Amino acid sequence: MIFRIAIRNLLHKPLYTALCWLLLACSTSVLLVLWALNRQARQQLEQQIDGIDLVLGAKGSPLQLILSSVYHLDNPTGNIPLSEASRFMQHPLVESAVPISLGDSYHGFRIIGTTTAYLDKYNAKPAEGKVFSKSMEVVAGVEAARKAGLKVGSRFAGTHGLGKTGHVHEGEEYIVTGILPATGLAIDQLLLTPLQSVWDIHAPHHDPDDHDHGHAEGENHDHDHDHEDAKGHDHDKADGHDHDHAEGEAHDHADAKGHDHDEAKGHDHDHAEEAAEKADPAHDPQQQVTAVLIKFRSPMGQLQFPRMINEYTNMQAAVPAIEINRLQALLGTGAKVLRALGWLLAGLAACSIFVTLVQGTHERRYELALIRTMGGSRGKLLALVFAEAFLLGVLGVVTGIALSRVALLFLQQELFAGYHLNFSGAMPLTAADGITAAAIVGACMLAALLPAVRAFRLNIAKTLANA
Amino acid sequence: MTDMMIQTNALAYTYPGGRVIRFPDLACRAGETLLITGPSGSGKTTLLHLLAGLIRPNEGSVQVAGTALGNLGTRKMDAFRGKHIGIIFQRSHFIDSLSVSDNLTLPLQLTGAPVDRSRLETVAGDLRIGHLLDKLPARLSQGEQQRASIARAVLQSPEVILADEPTASLDDHNCESVARLLSEQAARHNAALLIVTHDNRLTSLYPQHIQLT
């Protein structure tokens, strides 16, 4: 009966009830969405760096290197010669080293030149077709294939740069040999091809006609051909073509066999030596990669490599775990502000419940006294006030949970497409969500404490005498 | 059980300011009606509250339906009141958010007694509010509200019905009608009816009355 009266009382004052309900639902929703995103982002970020102890790449921002080469989000810091990277890739402390080379894309999906070791690292085997075995063969991530309409046997030409628009490598078609199964990782959004494909398609002889790669602002063509290695070189040929990069990334492909790198550290390069080294791609200074994902045999590698690489080479070593912690610390501030906002809303909801109940017990003091005269105990009055707060709390929290799941459903697609983070695992409620919901209901009950005590201590004779 | 439903002995109450009021001894049997009259401030409502166990006397004792109220703790007193005493107030108080029907059955539900729907309809019909059961109390006229109060007081078949100024805010026609219905219902349920009022219109209707001074 007490619950029934409480429900009818809440329905009897729809505006007050709606206000409290709305505030509670919003605060619960904001808090739960933030919990879910934070939890899932952390899990996803950590899952993707699993098995990668160090990333070797061109100098620049270490976070940018990690984001571009592990999460495939940011633009690369530049390229490094495979020959120089090989020294470290073959180091006894290294268990595995997977080179990747970025540069082109198709419909916005990055084409990554790599080896089959990349697939092994993520335990990805084609669900359809087979792994690439030669240049220009592609294994497509499930999302990339679905959204770009690729099937096994499909042919497509890549677009220079990582944006959706840009110079299309006409006449150089990739062929899809396999489609990977869904992993929930960034690999779902990638098009993987042998390193040789990237080298072939960007080799000067594949683009004999003079053309100007003018990249529009925002196009994100940022694979810096940053030949700042120790063996920096200067190629001057007659029939050159220029790639003009908008964002300070000037590099000039000069001719069919070489190119002119306008760099401060320009230097002469011996083409005879280059030809000799071409027999082994790892020693061919023209063969460049964007990054190398390294896993060590022992923690010693983690201690020695970063210093060795950062201090004595023109390359950069970035530790994913450190960078991701740094990223989370940076993002954590924003999340904290949003979380504080959520709790503030919850506090406001509790205050509105407090005001509503204080006002309600005062306005309904005759009703409360009446309940006592009809056999209701003081405990029942206490229960009645708490029941109203509890019902409001539960109603608000349940609505908030529902809203948070709907919000996550909408956010899921956006976040996966935009940040390669799979949030499908964010839907189930966790113990933390339960604690948050219980805390909000608890706050409602706390807000009801004073009005409930007032109802409990109501002097019925005095109240009725003054009626 | 004796048929003496209300019995007081040397009852006195001290107000917070120190004023002491002493009441004459009362006795009312099942089926009888006792009218207590007196001017404002004579202690009529205080007497009714003492009889209902809403306040405790400083001296003397109250027995209702054979139970000495002084022996009951707060919780037991609440339960006893809900089960054995029906109270009608000058202003009809209801739970505004509940329907008339829910309001009438509230004492039964609060004390855990079963709700007999047919009895509810019979009592409501007797008091000419049968068609108003699904409405909210605020939709009823003053006369209808007072009749609903009577229905609520008698529905759980209490041994004692206490009425505080039940006709004070009613016109002559409604006053007589409500008084007659109240007496009829008390008699039908063989309850002792005690009315406290300063409404002189009732003195002619109830020959057994005590004047407080």
Please report the pLDDT score of residue A257 as a whole number: 36
Q: Are A115 and A98 in contact (CB under 8 A)?
A: yes
- Is residue A269 very low, low, confident or very high in pLDDT (cuts 50, 70, 90)? very low
- Is residue A178 very low, low, confident or very high in pLDDT (cuts 50, 70, 90)? very high
A293-305 residue pLDDT tens: 999 888 888 888 8
Please report the pLDDT score of residue A223 as a whole number: 42
Residue of B nearest to A6 (CA): B97
Please report the pLDDT score of residue A185 as a whole number: 82
Please report the pLDDT score of residue A326 as a whole number: 85
Residues 6+ away with beta carbon under 8 Å from A40:
A421, A422, A423, A425, A426
Query: Distance (Å) from the C-alpha of residue A423 to the closest C-alpha of chain B?
Result: 45
Residue of B nearest to A375 (CA): B82
Whether the CB of A377 is below 8 Å from some CB of chain B: the reply is yes
pLDDT surpasses 80 at A133? yes
pLDDT surpasses 60 at A419? yes
Higher pLDDT, A356 or A217: A356
Whether the CB of B106 is below 8 Å from some CB of chain A: the reply is yes
B45, B83, B98 member nearest A8 (Cβ) = B98
Whether the CB of A378 is below 8 Å from some CB of chain B: the reply is yes
Q: Do B93 and A467 touch (CB under 8 A)?
A: yes
- Is residue A232 very low, low, confident or very high in pLDDT (cuts 50, 70, 90)? very low
* Mean pLDDT value of segment B175-188: 83
> Which amino acid would we find at residue A313?
T
Chain A residues with CB inside 8 Å of B87's CB? 373-374
Chain B residues with CB inside 8 Å of A371's CB? 95, 106, 110
A97-111 residue pLDDT tens: 999 988 788 888 889
Candidates A1, A13, A363, A374: best to mutate against B (most CBs of B within 10 A) is A374
Whether the CB of B84 is below 8 Å from some CB of chain A: the reply is no
- Is residue A203 very low, low, confident or very high in pLDDT (cuts 50, 70, 90)? low
Helix (H) or strand (E) holding B59: strand B59-64
- Is residue A421 very low, low, confident or very high in pLDDT (cuts 50, 70, 90)? low
Chain A residues with CB inside 8 Å of B64's CB? none
Torsional class of A59: left (φ above 0), alpha (ψ -120 to 50), beta (otherwise): beta
- Average pLDDT of chain B, as a whole number: 88
Candidates B55, B74, B78: best to mutate against A (most CBs of A within 10 A) is B78
Chain A residues with CB inside 8 Å of B52's CB? 373
Please report the pLDDT score of residue A135 as a whole number: 86
Chain A residues with CB inside 8 Å of B95's CB? 5, 8-9, 367, 370-371
Whether the CB of A461 is below 8 Å from some CB of chain B: the reply is yes
Query: The tokens of B46 are what?
Result: 């205080």
Query: The tokens of B186 are what?
Result: 């008390």
Please report the pLDDT score of residue A218 as a whole number: 36
Chain B residues with CB inside 8 Å of A374's CB? 81-82, 87, 106-107, 110, 152
pLDDT surpasses 90 at A333? no
Q: Do B96 and A467 touch (CB under 8 A)?
A: no
- Average pLDDT of chain A, as a whole number: 77
Higher pLDDT, B135 or A265: B135
Q: Is residue A275 exposed (0-12), middle (13-18) or buried (19+ Cβ within 10 Å)? A: exposed
Whether the CB of A114 is below 8 Å from some CB of chain B: the reply is no
Please report the pLDDT score of residue A72 as a whole number: 84
Whether the CB of A205 is below 8 Å from some CB of chain B: the reply is no
- Is residue A254 very low, low, confident or very high in pLDDT (cuts 50, 70, 90)? very low
Q: How far apart are CA B140 and CA B208, in angstroms?
A: 32
Higher pLDDT, A165 or A159: A159
Whether the CB of A9 is below 8 Å from some CB of chain B: the reply is yes
Please report the pLDDT score of residue A270 as a whole number: 41
Please report the pLDDT score of residue A205 as a whole number: 52
- Is residue B2 very low, low, confident or very high in pLDDT (cuts 50, 70, 90)? low
Please report the pLDDT score of residue A284 as a whole number: 58
Please report the pLDDT score of residue A420 as a whole number: 64
Chain A residues with CB inside 8 Å of B97's CB? 5, 8-9, 11-12
* Half-sphere exposure at residue A122, Cβ-oriented, CA atoms within 13 angstroms: 26
pLDDT surpasses 70 at A200? yes
pLDDT surpasses 60 at A217? no
Chain A residues with CB inside 8 Å of B98's CB? 5, 8
Q: Do A373 and B91 touch (CB under 8 A)?
A: no
A374, A377, A467 member nearest B107 (Cβ) = A374
Whether the CB of B75 is below 8 Å from some CB of chain A: the reply is yes
Q: Which of A46-55, A157-166, A224-233, B68-77 has the highest mean pLDDT?
A: B68-77
Residue of B nearest to A460 (CA): B54
Q: Do A5 and B95 touch (CB under 8 A)?
A: yes
Chain A residues with CB inside 8 Å of B111's CB? 375
Higher pLDDT, A444 or A163: A444
B83, B94, B98 member nearest A375 (Cβ) = B83
A77-98 residue pLDDT tens: 888 888 888 888 888 888 989 9
A19-51 residue pLDDT tens: 889 988 988 898 888 888 888 878 877 888 888
Please state whether beta strands A94-106 and B4-14 pair in parallel, antiparallel, or not at all (unpaired): unpaired
- Is residue A258 very low, low, confident or very high in pLDDT (cuts 50, 70, 90)? very low
Chain B residues with CB inside 8 Å of A375's CB? 78-79, 81-83, 107, 110-111
* Mean pLDDT value of segment B77-104: 89
Please report the pLDDT score of residue A60 as a whole number: 87
Candidates B88, B93, B104, B156: best to mutate against A (most CBs of A within 10 A) is B93
Longest CA span, chain B: 50
Residue of B nearest to A363 (CA): B96
Among A306-315, B81-90, B111-120, B198-207, which is the least confidently predicted range?
B198-207
Higher pLDDT, A339 or B110: B110
* Mean pLDDT value of segment A427-441: 87
Q: Do B95 and A1 touch (CB under 8 A)?
A: no
Question: What percent of chain B stands above pLDDT 90?
Answer: 34
pLDDT surpasses 70 at A239? no
pLDDT surpasses 80 at A266? no
Three state DSSP letters for chain A: CHHHHHHHHHHHCHHHHHHHHHHHHHHHHHHHHHHHHHHHHHHHHHHHCCCCCEEEEECCCHHHHHHHHCCCCCCCCCCEEHHHHHHHHCCCCEEEEEEEEEEEEECCEEEEEECHHHHHHCCCCCCEECCCCCCCEEEECHHHHHHHCCCCCCEEEEEECCCCCCCEEEEEEEEEEEECCCCCCHHHHCEEEEHHHHHHHHCHHHCCCCCCEECCCCCCCCCCCCCCCCCCCECCCCCCCCEECCCCCCEECCCCCCCECCCCCCCECCHHHHHHHCCCHHHCCCCEECEEEEEECCHHHHHHHHHHHHHHCCEEEECHHHHHHHHHHHHHHHHHHHHHHHHHHHHHHHHHHHHHHHHHHHHCHHHHHHHHHCCCCHHHHHHHHHHHHHHHHHHHHHHHHHHHHHHHHHHHHHHHHHHCCCCHHHCCCCHHHHHHHHHHHHHHHHHHHHHHHHHHCCCHHHHHHCC
Whether the CB of B55 is below 8 Å from some CB of chain A: the reply is yes
Chain B residues with CB inside 8 Å of A465's CB? 45, 49
- Is residue A195 very low, low, confident or very high in pLDDT (cuts 50, 70, 90)? confident
Give the Å distances, CA to CA, from A99 to A80, A112, A196, A200, A293. Answer: 10, 10, 11, 16, 6
pLDDT surpasses 70 at A222? no
Please state whether beta strands B33-37 and B192-197 pair in parallel, antiparallel, or not at all (unpaired): parallel
Higher pLDDT, A420 or A434: A434
Whether the CB of A11 is below 8 Å from some CB of chain B: the reply is yes
Helix (H) or strand (E) holding B81: helix B74-84
Query: The tokens of A208 are what?
Result: 């004999």
Candidates B110, B154, B157: best to mutate against A (most CBs of A within 10 A) is B110
* Mean pLDDT value of segment A282-297: 78
Please report the pLDDT score of residue A252 as a whole number: 37
B7-22 residue pLDDT tens: 999 999 998 888 899 9
CB neighbours (10 Å) of residue A99?
A: 26
A355-408 residue pLDDT tens: 888 888 888 888 888 898 888 888 999 999 999 999 999 999 999 999 999 998
Please report the pLDDT score of residue A162 as a whole number: 63
Give the Å distances, CA to CA, from B119 to B27, B126, B160. Answer: 30, 10, 19
Question: What percent of chain A stands above pLDDT 70?
Answer: 77
Please report the pLDDT score of residue A256 as a whole number: 35
Query: The tokens of A6 are what?
Result: 């409480």
Among A40-49, A319-328, A416-425, B55-64, which is the least confidently predicted range?
A416-425
Please report the pLDDT score of residue A251 as a whole number: 38
pLDDT surpasses 90 at A235? no
Q: Do A370 and B95 touch (CB under 8 A)?
A: yes
Whether the CB of B74 is below 8 Å from some CB of chain A: the reply is yes
Please report the pLDDT score of residue A44 as a whole number: 78
A113-128 residue pLDDT tens: 998 888 888 888 888 8
Q: Which of A231-245, A317-331, B126-140, B160-174 has the highest mean pLDDT?
A: B126-140
Residue of A nearest to B78 (CA): A375
